Structures are given as C-alpha cells and as structure tokens.
C-alpha cells in the first residue's frame, strides 16, 4: 500500500511538473511570414479605428438619386473577411456608399497581442469599431448594417443597443439562435494561466485545415469552390502570428442578451438565408422572422450558408425588393 502511494505521488508530481514546464518548451506556431499590410497586397486600404489598424474596402455611391446616399456597412462572418462580400460590394453601391471591413481576428486587420481597456476582439471592441465607422463615414445620413453569420449576430445586437444609429438591418444567415459559443465567459481564470496561454495558439492553429471543412459546408454548389475561392479565404493565414490573434479572438468576451431580446429590435429588418444552409439551419432563420417584429424573410434557392457568394444576383434582388422598407425609418 505504501509503495502504491509512493508511485501515485511520483506520478502526480510528474504530471504537475510536466504541465508547469512543458508548455514553455513547445515552439509557438507561426506559419505566417508577412505583416498584415504585406499580406493584404498592394492597394489595400487601412483605417485607424478604435485604436487598431482596420482593413476596409469601400465603394462610392453609384446610384442616380440626388438625395444623401445611405451608408451600407458590411460585417462578415466567422473565418471570413471582406472577401466574402466581393460579389455584391459593387452592386450594393447603387443603393448607397459601401464599406466592408475585416473584424479583429480575421482578414487583414491588425491583430494586437496586448491592449489597454476594452478587448478589441470581443463584442465591446467590435462595437467601438462600428461606432467609429458610423462617426467617420455615416454622419448625418442613414446607416444600414448588413451582417453575415456571426457578423449578423453582431449587427443585430448593435442595432438593438443603438436604435438611433441604425436605420436598416440586413441579417444574412445570422448566427443568433445557433452560435459558435459565448467566448471566455466563465473561463476567464483558465485562459489567464500562463501555460494555457502558451498552448492556446497551438490548439487553435488547426483552423488552417478545419476551416476548409466549414467552407465546403457553406456552399450548396461545391463546383463554385474554385482554387481562387480557397486562395481568397487562405490569404490571411500568411500573416505572421495569425494563430495568436485567433486565440485572442477565441477567448474574447462575447456574452450578449440578443437571443432573449429579439422582440426589442425596432430597426426595420430583412432576413436572408440559403434554403440549404446547415451551418446556421434555415429553420432558425424562419423562427427569427417570428421573433423580430415586422421583419421580412427571403429564402434564396440553391444556396447554403453564403448566398451572397453562391447566388449574388438573387441576393441583390432580395435587397432591391426590400430596400424601401429598410430606409423608410
């Protein structure tokens, strides 16, 4: 019995020592070799917003109305970037000035490793960026938020909390009833352990390959997944330290009260979903129509989680048919 206790004590101590020491001996993943600016390529535009360098794509108003054109802000989903809006940025400019941006942790926006005050990767940090986009580009005119998937959750919660700043809301397959998790809530203490902080970027680096599985699930017509599409989604992985940035996003606070207060959204809202979406089930969006008062719903045929990419013409028809109701507030 005494020998058994001695063996168990040695094993326990060995395990503790391994946990305390080994993580610091493992090389940190760093598959990227470029800065975010270099990876974005020549001509990419960056704007300082909420204390970080945010990559944006803009399209000037191309319509013929003599009125003050609205500002249309495009907010991409998990694992994406402004690239996911490439098919509709120019067509949307017929309705207003368009600005798409890369959310912190994705695309080519700066990925800080330290910060003072608000975590730039969390909901509050994201809301500060939207605040400054509206202040910089949308002053004295109507603002329409267009959010896809996790970006749709952000857009809807921002509109709920800031009803006077947003006049129209387009939610594309929004991850509201089905989400990717709530961030660091309840585990903040765990993520602060130095050993966990060292292991974190290693644990999330698998997104470089598992992300392709999500991309394939997001398309109904797999033939549209060309090499150019894969390359567009892979380009941000060339950024040095992207793994640490993604870990910072994964552990950022994203707690919100949106799902319990959908009936409080007063902004005119349009819901768009692919009829074959399995990432955020189409049935979820049908439920949202009942929960968001006065909202409209368009199901796009032969599309999955990325209807703006798979069926851009049908996507724009959905916008065009509902535009007046979005800007009538």
Per residue of the chain (329 residues), what is the pLDDT tens digit? 444 344 334 333 344 334 444 444 445 556 789 999 999 999 999 999 999 999 999 999 999 887 889 999 999 999 999 999 999 999 999 999 999 999 999 999 999 988 999 999 999 999 999 999 999 999 889 999 999 999 999 999 999 999 999 999 999 999 999 875 445 555 554 455 455 555 566 666 666 677 899 999 999 999 999 999 999 999 999 999 888 888 889 889 888 999 999 999 999 999 999 999 999 999 999 999 999 999 999 999 999 999 999 999 999 999 999 999 999 87
303: CB partners within 8 A, 6+ apart: 220, 274, 275, 276, 277, 310, 311, 314
* Alpha carbon of residue 202 to chain centroid: 21
Least Cα distance to 139 among 81, 69, 205 occurs for 69
Pick the CATH number of 31-327 from 2.60.40.10, 3.40.50.720, 1.10.10.10, 3.40.50.1820: 3.40.50.1820
Whole-model pTM: value is: 0.88
pLDDT at 1: 42
Query: Cβ(71)–Cβ(145) under 8 Å?
Result: no
Least Cα distance to 122 among 183, 81, 180, 172 occurs for 183
Give the separation between CA 136 and CA 56, rounded to whole angstroms: 13
């Amino acid at each position: 019995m005494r020998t058994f206790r001695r063996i168990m004590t040695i094993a326990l101590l060995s395990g503790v020592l391994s946990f305390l020491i080994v993580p610091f001996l493992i090389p940190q993943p760093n598959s990227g070799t470029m800065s975010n600016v270099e990876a974005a390529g020549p001509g990419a535009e960056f704007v300082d917003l909420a204390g970080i360098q945010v990559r944006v794509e803009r399209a000037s108003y191309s319509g013929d109305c003599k009125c003050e054109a609205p500002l249309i802000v495009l907010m991409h989903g998990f694992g994406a970037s402004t690239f996911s809006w490439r098919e509709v940025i120019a067509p949307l400019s017929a309705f207003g000035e368009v600005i798409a941006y890369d959310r912190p942790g994705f695309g080519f926006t700066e990925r800080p490793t330290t910060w003072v005050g608000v975590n730039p990767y969390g909901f509050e940090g994201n809301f500060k960026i939207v605040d400054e986009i509206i202040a910089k580009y949308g002053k004295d005119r109507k603002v329409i938020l267009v959010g896809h998937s996790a970006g749709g959750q952000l857009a809807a919660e921002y509109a709920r909390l800031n009803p006077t700043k947003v006049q129209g809301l387009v939610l594309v397959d929004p991850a509201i009833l089905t989400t990717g998790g709530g961030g660091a809530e309840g585990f903040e203490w765990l993520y602060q352990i130095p050993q966990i902080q060292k292991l974190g970027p290693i644990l999330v680096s698998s997104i470089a390959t598992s992300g392709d599985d999500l991309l394939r699930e997001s398309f109904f017509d797999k033939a549209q997944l060309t090499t150019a599409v894969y390359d567009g989604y892979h380009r941000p992985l060339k950024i040095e330290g992207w793994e640490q940035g993604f870990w910072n996003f994964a552990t950022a606070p994203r707690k919100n009260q949106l799902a319990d207060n959908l009936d409080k959204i007063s902004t005119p809202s349009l819901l768009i979903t692919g009829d074959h979406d399995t990432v955020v089930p189409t049935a979820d969006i049908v439920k949202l129509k009942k929960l968001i008062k006065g909202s409209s719903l368009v199901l796009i045929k032969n599309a999955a989680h990325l209807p703006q990419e798979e069926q851009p013409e049908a996507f724009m028809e959905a916008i065009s048919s509902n535009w007046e109701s979005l800007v009538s507030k």
